[in-house]
Amino acid sequence: ETVFSDYVSRLYTYLLELENRLYSEGLHILGSPPNDEQMHKYLSAYFDGKLDDTILQSIVEEEDERIQASSSSSPEMVSEAASIRDLLKQNTNEISSILKALDGEYIL
């Protein structure tokens, strides 16, 4: 019974941490890309400490070439973070895509 209680306690703590990390920004506004601070928080939560904060900040500020040259982190992770950044900045296309979907059109 003590083992189960310990497990439930750890699980509860983990779920609270996960909830706070994933939903710290509140609701998303359609068509509004995240600002630099929101982008940094999102990438930081996504990579969960696997990329240094200074590298993440450079990615947010779109200094990709400098990062590739000086980064001791995995080039794949740096590239993935830059791709995620670029995709998140495309949020301005959301409203037009929703209107196309409601019109029965194909969405790219």
Q: Nearest 5 degrees, angle CA 72-CA 73-CA 76?
A: 130
Mean predicted confidence (pLDDT) in 16-27: 69
Predicted local distance difference test score (pLDDT) of residue 72 = 65
Does pLDDT of 98 surpass 70? Answer: yes
Q: Which amino acid is at 73?
A: S
The lowest-confidence range among 9-13, 48-52, 84-88, 104-108 is: 104-108
Residue 27 has pLDDT above 80, yes or no: no
- Helix ranges (H only) for the chain are 2-22, 36-47, 53-60, 64-70, 75-88, 94-102
pTM over 0.75: no
- Identify which of 49, 86, 56 has the alpha carbon closest to the alpha carbon of residue 71: 56
Give the residue-averaged pLDDT of 12-37. Answer: 79
